[in-house]
Amino acid sequence: MSIQALQTKIGVKADGDFGPTSFRAACKFFNLTPERGAHFFGQTEHETGGFKLFVENLNYSADGLKKIFPKYFPGNMADLYARQPEKIANRVYASRMGNGDEKSGDGFKFRGRGALQLTGKDNYTTFAQHLQKPEILTNPDLVATLYAFESAMFFFDKNKLWSICDQGVNDATILALTKRVNGGTHGLDDREVKTKKYYSFV
């Protein structure tokens, strides 16, 4: 989903600039308090590289596969999968998260999409039920387009992250939220800048 597509959805001028007007309209559209909105869009802007990447990039070299997924690519196996995103996804995500085996194709079909990378057939199924949109399972690309931000909100709901947002916009809450979203503190400085930027739009 592009910024313009989001702006069209929330009813503001689709100029590609996610500034104060867009932020306030998005908070109203998604029923977010200023604190929740600042945290949510600060985190998602960072995770999507400035609202540009809504589909997982699995175009790894052989060396990249060995470093990132060593247990799935022992020996020279990485050479057989390098630069083949579909094959890589089908192997890495096979037989877990509700996916079938490598031959099923579920790994690629249900690869990471959305503003916080919804991944795996189980998560897609639960999300589809949450929105009451069964078509998501036959057309998973909807998670990268129409429901990119809803899928991220689903992640916040499921992991009870809104309660962290409600504690205010400060370094401590941004740190706590980053650890839950990222599993660590990668990009913390950027997340702090972006979150505080949005809160200044209130």
Reported as a single tens digit per residue, the pLDDT across 89-131 is: 999 999 999 999 999 999 999 999 999 999 999 999 999 999 9
The helix/strand/coil state of 62 is helix
pLDDT, position 37: 98
**Where residue 36 falls among pLDDT bands split at 50, 70, 90?**
very high
Interval 8-36 mean pLDDT: 97
**Where residue 195 falls among pLDDT bands split at 50, 70, 90?**
very high
Interval 129-157 mean pLDDT: 97
Whole-structure pTM value: 0.93
pLDDT, position 1: 84
Q: What are the residue ranges of helices labelled H in the chain?
A: 3-10, 20-29, 34-47, 62-68, 77-81, 85-92, 106-109, 121-131, 135-138, 148-158, 162-165, 171-182, 188-199
Rounded CA-CA distance 27/24 in Å is 5
Task: Give the model confidence (pLDDT) of 40-86 as tens digits.
Answer: 999 999 999 999 999 999 999 999 999 999 999 998 999 999 999 99
CB atoms within 10 A of CB 158: 12
Average model confidence (pLDDT) for the chain? 97
